Amino acid sequence: MINKSELIKYFLLEADDCLNVLVEGTEELETKGYNKSTIESLFRATHTLKGSASIVKFNKITMLSHKLEDLFEALLNGEINYDNSLIYHIRNVINLIVALVNEVHEAGEEKSEIEKEVIELIDNILNKKEIPAVQQKSVIFDALPVTDNVRVELKVIENIFASLSEVLVQKNTITDKEKELFHIVEEISNSGKKLLKEITDFSDMYWLSTYERGQKVIDSFFVDFSDLEFDRYDEYHIFLRKIQEITNDITEGINSLFIFSENLSSHFKSLGREINYLKDSLIEIRMIPIGKLLHRLSEAIKENAKDIGKAVEIDIKGAEIKIDKPVFDSLYEPIIHILRNAIQHGIESFEERIKKGKEQTGHIKIDVKKEGKYIVIAIKDDGRGIDIDKVKEIAVQKGLISSEYTSFISEEEILSYIFVPGFSTSDEIDFQSGRGMGLNIVKTAISKLKGTIEVFSELDKETTFIIKIPQSLTISNLLIFSSHNLDFAIPINYIEEILTLEDFPQALEERSINHKNRIIPVKIFSEIFFSLNGKALQKGYIIVFNFSGIRKGLIVDEILGHEEATVHNFGKFLEGLTQYLGYFISGKGSPRYVIDPLKLFEEEFIFTGLSDKITESFIYSGSVLVVDDSISVRKTLQSVLEAKKLRVYTAKDGVEALNLLERNKVDMVVTDLEMPVMHGYELISRLRKDARFKNLPIIVLTSRGTKKHEEKAFELGADGYIVKPFDEKAIEEEILDRLKLL
């Protein structure tokens, strides 16, 4: 439960607003006379005040505002004719409310009693529809409580955010420049040192070599005053001296430059820290405790439940956790949707609950937790749960899953189909125990928040929705990757893991990977965005996304790292580019386009649920690994076998074959004998030594037709022997018939 003092804080903020409206409104009525819109705003203010006071159970304020509300309503409906003398009574009531609010402010509770006459007076007005004469003409308003809060329009904060993101870009640029500066300083200092050394060496030499001459010169100074050598020596001497002095100056200069740049960089660092601090506190300003939303919702839901003859208790944990204002606003819809579903379809009727041995009152637990930069909201009800078989049935009916392989799909994945648009709306009555009702709306809303939603359920016991959303929308956590000299980013929250392409050499060819017993369809980024043939890719990474249980892979060329950034919208001119969520500018000044991963795979989940690729993989009647160093043999055999509905893997030598067998389920191996790296005999003997492949059928397909070769193969453990060139009949007998026996 949200703590009371927090709630009182909100109440006071709200009351402050409402009272302001009331005071201003009455003043306006007094000066300008009757005005419908003024009365309307007064009516709304009293209504809000009543509601918010009732949450914190300030009954007196609730009652007083209720009376006022009735009065304004009567005025609006024309039941009472407006008269300026009403102002007096209204003011009296408002003053009472102000006094009570002041008390709440100071002591946290209502203290004074309400004068009965005031209430009676209003009741009288309402009942008799006439306004009693006023004894006193003017009532001065009591001073409103002074709060130490400042209300700022969200737009103002948004503007600050905009300049902050600019500052962040500048900061990144400065950090880059700083490195450059260090580089330059280092270069100068190195060259300076070299210069100094050269000059010192030179002058040392000079001094030594001229010392004797110098003696002579000094001598000659006395002997021959006009000696040319003396003059030349002197100029040289002075020049050298000057150079030395200059060099010393330069060295000193370089040293102070060095110290200066060190200093500067420490200033940059503290500036960076301050900017980060500023960023965090700004985000904090925009944050609202989630309890404010949950509390409001749970009150409404409890009422709702009562209306349909059910009783629920809602338990909220982690109400103090704060979320960004836009996130807060957009969470309202999805959460109320889930809660409504819970009371309508989840929580059973009294009789049903008793029959099931459950407590009469249903329980809904809302548990909010902070996980790093994410908020995890778990909403759990102890109702009927979701009937997985029914979900499966409907998914099959709707053609989302093909009936042949429903048994292969994990419960988690089946449940995720309830989020597919139009999943259950058509046969609502049939689908009582499940809840598809508009859950795709929930999912869309959560996705817009760059969040994810998952569902877990146990039939007749409970259903849990887990929503994971970023705490703040302004700063996103992004994975940066590059492709064709452009940088792209993708929100990190959908990313489950990153694999290297090298471990899945088949991925480019097959457009799917088999990872952790899941067939995950993959797409190649450069194909989608640059219309290039992705098969040429040598190196790369597979980003595995988890969209509420449905996994998809994306192959990218290079991953640059991870960054936090403010994502800008593309604007109206480019808004049709829906494959992007927006962009941000990197520290280097180049734009990075943020990809919407949902759009990337959209067609698959919205229209078919699953791509044809995986559908195929489930209808193969078996799988064969063809090992041959000749591509034409591999290709011919592959097409022959695929025509027989077989899944065909290919390898060009024994080593590749062994690697493939580690990762894929293979029903049969067809191998050549002569191959590079590892030949067929070795492959056969290795396979036979491995307990896992002891009984795996191995057929030799070779151009060596001699008895000797054949015997050797059987000796090592081969099951069949086909001599090239092969015909369909041999394939049929040796491969297909054998597979049918399996």
Partner 1 sequence: MSEEIKETEKSYCVFGIGEREFLIPKESVMQVLDVTRIFPIPGAPDYIVGALPVRGKIIPAVDLAKVYNIERLNYSDNKLLVIDVKGEKIGILSDITPFFVNFESDIVVEDFIDPEKLFEQLKVSSQKPAEKRDDK
State the residues that interact with partner 1 by CB under 8 A. 165-166, 169, 486, 528-532, 568, 571-580, 583, 585, 589-591, 593, 599-600, 602-603
Of the two residues 440 and 463, which places its CB atom closer to partner 1 in the complex?
440
Kindly state the smallest distance separating residue 162's Cβ from partner 1, in Å. Answer: 8
Phi, psi of 270 (to 5 degrees): -70, -30
Kindly state the smallest distance separating residue 526's Cβ from partner 1, in Å. Answer: 9
Pairing of strands 580-585, 475-483: unpaired
Position of tokens 């209003």?
Answer: 122
Is the CB of residue 603 less than 8 Å from the CB of residue 551? no
Kindly state the smallest distance separating residue 585's Cβ from partner 1, in Å. Answer: 5
Kindly state the smallest distance separating residue 171's Cβ from partner 1, in Å. Answer: 11
Kindly state the smallest distance separating residue 35's Cβ from partner 1, in Å. Answer: 35
* Rounded CA separation 320/3 (Å): 8
Compute the Cα dihedral for 188, 191, 194, 196 and give only its sign. Answer: negative
Of the two residues 380 and 592, which places its CB atom closer to partner 1 in the complex?
592
562 dihedral zone (left: phi>0; alpha: psi -120 to 50; beta): beta
Q: Which residues pair with 491 in a beta bridge?
A: 478
* Rounded CA separation 642/626 (Å): 12
Of the two residues 579 and 685, which places its CB atom closer to partner 1 in the complex?
579
Kindly state the smallest distance separating residue 576's Cβ from partner 1, in Å. Answer: 3
User: Which H helix or E strand runs over 286?
Assistant: helix 228-286
Q: Which token pair is 548?
A: 């509420």
Pairing of strands 580-585, 591-595: antiparallel
- Dmax (CA) of the chain: 137
Kindly state the smallest distance separating residue 281's Cβ from partner 1, in Å. Answer: 21
Name the residue among 45, 53, 56 with its Cα closest to residue 20.
45
Name the residue among 87, 88, 111 with its Cα closest to residue 99.
111
Kindly state the smallest distance separating residue 545's Cβ from partner 1, in Å. Answer: 15
Q: Is 266 exposed, middle or buried (0-12, 13-18, 19+ CB in 10 A)?
A: exposed
Of the two residues 300 and 577, which places its CB atom closer to partner 1 in the complex?
577
Helix axes 86-107, 59-77, angle to 10 degrees: 150
CB atoms within 10 A of CB 87: 18
Of the two residues 471 and 586, which places its CB atom closer to partner 1 in the complex?
586
Phi, psi of 147 (to 5 degrees): -105, 155
Helix axes 439-448, 325-341, angle to 10 degrees: 160
Q: Which residues pair with 368 in a beta bridge?
A: 377
Of the two residues 62 and 165, which places its CB atom closer to partner 1 in the complex?
165
Of the two residues 102 and 482, which places its CB atom closer to partner 1 in the complex?
482
Of the two residues 593 and 649, which places its CB atom closer to partner 1 in the complex?
593
Q: Which token pair is 375?
A: 């908020």
Of the two residues 41 and 579, which places its CB atom closer to partner 1 in the complex?
579
Of the two residues 547 and 721, which places its CB atom closer to partner 1 in the complex?
547
User: Which H helix or E strand runs over 403?
Assistant: none
Kindly state the smallest distance separating residue 423's Cβ from partner 1, in Å. Answer: 21
Position of tokens 């449940």?
Answer: 415
Q: Which token pair is 646?
A: 């077989």
Phi, psi of 565 (to 5 degrees): -155, 160
Kindly state the smallest distance separating residue 511's Cβ from partner 1, in Å. Answer: 15
Q: Write the CB contacts of 636 (distance below 8 Å, at least 6 apart in sequence).
A: none
Q: Write the CB contacts of 528 (distance below 8 Å, at least 6 apart in sequence).
A: 600
Kindly state the smallest distance separating residue 580's Cβ from partner 1, in Å. Answer: 8
Is the CB of residue 438 less than 8 Å from the CB of residue 420? no
* Rounded CA separation 477/495 (Å): 11
Of the two residues 281 and 531, which places its CB atom closer to partner 1 in the complex?
531
Of the two residues 46 and 165, which places its CB atom closer to partner 1 in the complex?
165
CB atoms within 10 A of CB 225: 8
Is the CB of residue 359 less than 8 Å from the CB of residue 353? yes
Kindly state the smallest distance separating residue 604's Cβ from partner 1, in Å. Answer: 10
Phi, psi of 420 (to 5 degrees): -70, 135
* Rounded CA separation 448/327 (Å): 10
Of the two residues 488 and 726, which places its CB atom closer to partner 1 in the complex?
488
Kindly state the smallest distance separating residue 562's Cβ from partner 1, in Å. Answer: 20
Is the CB of residue 551 less than 8 Å from the CB of residue 544? yes
Kindly state the smallest distance separating residue 467's Cβ from partner 1, in Å. Answer: 25
Kindly state the smallest distance separating residue 524's Cβ from partner 1, in Å. Answer: 11
Kindly state the smallest distance separating residue 422's Cβ from partner 1, in Å. Answer: 19
Of the two residues 144 and 528, which places its CB atom closer to partner 1 in the complex?
528
C-alpha Rg value of the chain to the nearest Å: 40
Of the two residues 504 and 580, which places its CB atom closer to partner 1 in the complex?
580
Of the two residues 32 and 572, which places its CB atom closer to partner 1 in the complex?
572
Q: Which residues pair with 313 in a beta bridge?
A: 363
